[in-house]
């Protein structure tokens, strides 16, 4: 793995960093107050539109469809920088990129031409990934949502949970059971469903602990009729697609966690360099110095794991194990970094006026979504055992 960035990758990282510092960070606390207060959603949608205009909604997408063609490494770098400014904006950016990649990988030419340019340009503020269900989270193969063929249409019934950006997504990639008699995980297909389709109902945003500015909604399908042309890829082959795309999504969430952890530690480092106790700066105390050293070492290791997974993906090599390793390590260590950074601020870290309280809430979910830490360990162990089978 070559860790030296190309000129294009460096430019993308620098652009993302500047945008995060100038546009996202000043409004992050306001957005954290919730989408139902004031003009928070307007700010978020403006941010997403600007990111699309900068090319951040199609970082690994072919230029023929309006993408940047920058690759997975650039995607990881960009998500990390965006997350330093606003985790809520970063998760929407990550998921929207993932949806565009699914369509590019599995969709036919008509589907690609119809939907990907709208995602990359920002015509669609976001795109939704509808996989998780109430009883099919860590076990998505157990989903109950069905798609029954009826002439030239499919009829969708069921519900999906915890769908990022659902209320302002332009299109959803939806997984549903098309052959209930098939072996578990074998009778699932993948569809494209536009927001506003009759029978598609987006529920109210969930009230969450963190990442509050990113709407998370239930999406229900009640006799939702879609044309047969909405099927992506082969019928009953959708679960394989979901598993492959989740691996790529884990690079995004690992990168997001890394950005939050770095933001927390950077703030704490500046704070202890200025704050005095016992007539000297807090940074003079060895206990705090060791916390800095350990947490920055953890985050650097997370960065390298993410870079490795992204490089493998970019080269077209197997990367599922490396993506799970990176996501597991980055999310767990970012959680520790945020808690240690809050501790370094003492009582001030617990007060809303300072960003550590928000960052600590924002980072918690990174070890849950896109596969919990426990699921990552299962994936890693499975891949390791395959190597000696």
Q: Residues with Cβ < 8 Å from 116, sequence gap 6 or more? A: 58, 61, 65, 66, 67, 100, 103, 104, 107
CA distances in angstroms from 343 to 7, 19, 25, 280, 288, listed in the order given: 38, 29, 22, 18, 10
Q: Which two tokens stand for residue 238?
A: 């959708």
**Phi-psi domain of 205 (left: phi exceeds 0; alpha: psi -120 through 50; beta: other):** beta
**Given the residues 81, 101, 133, 370, the one annotated as active site:** 370
In the DSSP assignment, the letter for residue 366 is G
Query: What span, in angstroms and rounded, lies between the C-alpha atoms of 115 and 121?
Result: 10
Terminal Cα distance for the chain, rounded = 27
Which single residue is written with the structure tokens 């499975």? 382
**Phi-psi domain of 148 (left: phi exceeds 0; alpha: psi -120 through 50; beta: other):** beta
Q: What is the dihedral of CA 304, 316, 176, 110, to 10 degrees?
A: 130
Task: Decide: residue 80, CB within 10 A, 0-12 exposed, 13-18 middle, 19+ buried.
Answer: buried
Query: What span, in angstroms and rounded, lies between the C-alpha atoms of 96 and 75?
Result: 12
130, 191 Cβ separation under 8 angstroms: no
Query: What span, in angstroms and rounded, lies between the C-alpha atoms of 253 and 386?
Result: 25
Annotation says 135 is catalytic: no
130, 175 Cβ separation under 8 angstroms: yes
CA distances in angstroms from 75 to 28, 57, 93, 263, listed in the order given: 21, 9, 10, 18
User: What's the longest Cα–Cα distance across the chain?
Assistant: 80
> String of b and e for 348-365 (b: at least 16 CB within 10 Å)?
ebeeeebbbbbbbbbbbb
Q: Which residues are catalytic?
A: 370
């Amino acid at each position: 793995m070559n860790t030296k960035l190309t000129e294009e990758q460096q430019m993308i990282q620098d652009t993302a960093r500047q945008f995060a510092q100038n546009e996202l960070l000043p409004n992050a606390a306001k957005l954290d107050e919730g989408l139902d207060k004031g003009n928070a959603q307007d700010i978020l949608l403006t941010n997403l539109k600007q990111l699309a205009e900068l090319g951040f909604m199609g970082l690994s997408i072919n230029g023929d469809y309006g993408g940047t063609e920058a690759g997975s490494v650039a995607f990881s770098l960009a998500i990390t920088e965006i997350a330093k400014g606003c985790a809520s904006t970063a998760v929407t950016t990550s998921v929207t990129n993932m949806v565009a990649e699914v369509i590019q990988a599995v969709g036919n030419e008509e589907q690609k031409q119809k939907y990907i340019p709208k995602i990359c340009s920002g015509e669609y503020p976001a795109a939704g990934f509808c996989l998780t269900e109430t009883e099919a989270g860590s076990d998505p193969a157990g989903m109950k949502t069905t798609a029954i063929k009826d002439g030239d249409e499919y009829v969708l019934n069921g519900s999906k949970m915890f769908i990022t950006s659902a209320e302002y997504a332009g299109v959803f990639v939806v997984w549903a059971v098309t052959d209930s008699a098939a072996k578990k995980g074998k009778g699932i297909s993948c569809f494209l469903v536009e927001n506003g389709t009759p029978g598609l109902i987006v529920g109210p945003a969930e009230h969450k602990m963190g990442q509050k500015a990113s709407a998370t909604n239930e999406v229900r399908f009640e006799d939702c009729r879609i044309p047969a042309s909405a099927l992506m890829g082969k019928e009953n082959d959708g679960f394989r697609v979901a598993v492959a795309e989740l691996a790529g999504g884990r690079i995004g969430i690992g990168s997001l966690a890394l950005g939050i952890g770095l933001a927390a530690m950077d703030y704490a480092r500046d704070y202890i360099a200025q704050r005095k106790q016992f007539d000297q700066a807090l940074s003079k105390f060895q206990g705090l110095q060791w916390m800095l050293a350990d947490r920055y070492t953890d985050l650097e290791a997370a960065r390298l794991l993410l870079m490795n997974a992204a490089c493998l993906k970019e080269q077209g090599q197997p990367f599922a194990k490396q993506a799970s390793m990176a996501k597991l390590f980055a999310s767990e260590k970012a959680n520790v970094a945020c808690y240690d950074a809050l501790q370094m601020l003492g009582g001030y870290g617990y007060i809303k006026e300072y960003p550590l309280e928000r960052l600590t809430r924002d980072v918690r979910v990174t070890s849950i979504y896109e596969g919990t830490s426990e699921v990552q360990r299962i994936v890693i162990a499975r891949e390791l055992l395959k190597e000696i089978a």
